[in-house]
A and B are shown apart, each in its own frame.
Chain A
Amino acid sequence: MSDALHLEFEVSGNNFVSAGGASDEVKKTLKMLGIGAQYIRKVAIAMYEGEINMVIHAGGGRAIVDIYREKIVIVLKDQGPGIPDIDLALTEGYSTATDNIRDLGFGAGMGLPNMKKYTDEFNLESEVGKGTTVTMVVNFF
C-alpha cells in the first residue's frame, strides 16, 4: 500500500466556477497512468458529485485521494451542517437543494445515489453540526 500516489484538493464553497476542478485533475492523472476508461468514468462521476455536494451543502471541504495500482481511494471531508437522515439522503430523487441550485442544473437528488452506484465501496459518516466524511473506493479490475 506504500506505493500510493497521494493528492489533496481544497474545494471552495459556493464557487461554481471552480467546481469540478479536483475531479478533473484526478481524471487527468488516471488517464496519464493508463487506467481503463470505464473506471475513469466511474471515478469522475462519483468524485464530481461529491465535490458539488461540498460546494452546495457544506461551504466547501477537502478531497484526499490515494491512487494505488489496483484501486483509488477518495475521501471527502467537510465541516458542513451534516446529514440528519442518511438513508433518506441516499434515496434517489430526494434533495434539499434550493431553487437557485436547481436553476444551475443540480438538485435532482441523484448526487449521493450516483456516488454509491459508481463506486465499489461507499461509506458515509455524518454528524449534525459537525460535518460529513465520505469514503469511496473504485477498483481498477
Chain B
Amino acid sequence: MRWMWIDQIVEVERGQRLVAIKNVSLAEDVVHDHFPTQPAPNGEQLDALPVMPASLLIEGMAQTAGILVGHANDFAEKVILAKINKARFTCDVFPGQTVRFEARIDRMDESGASATGQVSAYDHARQQYHDVGTVELMFSHIDQNMTGLEFPEENFVFTDNFKTLLRAAELI
C-alpha cells in the first residue's frame, strides 16, 4: 500500500489555494471493519459498515495542504505536518463517493504555514456534493525551525510517489 490519500490535484492557485480529490473504493482495506454495527433486533451481527476513516480524511487534507505549502516555495522546503488545530466532521464518507479537499493558506512565513481545509464528498447517485467537515492544520519548514538538528539534504517529504501526483498536475 502507498501512503497516498489523494488521487489527483484538480485546481491550483499558487500560494493560496489547492483542490485535490480522492475516490474512495470498496477495494481499500481501510474502509472495512472501521465501525462494527450493533447486533440487529434478531441478534444477527451484521458486517461492519464500510466508511472512510476520518483520521485518513485528515491525512488527505494534510497532503493537499502540504503540497500547497510546498509548491509556494517550489518544493525547496521540507514541509512537515506539525499540528492539527481542529478537525470537525459532520458526516461519514462511503465507498463510491469522491472526496474533495480544498485547502487554503491562512498565514505563511519562513518557519511554516497555517492552512484551513474544507472537506466535501460527491455522491454519484445523487449527483451532488455535500459538506463533510473542516480541518485546520499547521506545517513546519523543519530546516528553518529545528535549529541544531541536521536533516538529510534530499527532500524526503515530496518523494517519488508525490512527484507522480505533482507531475500529473504539472506542478513540477
Tell me, yes or no, whether A binds B: no
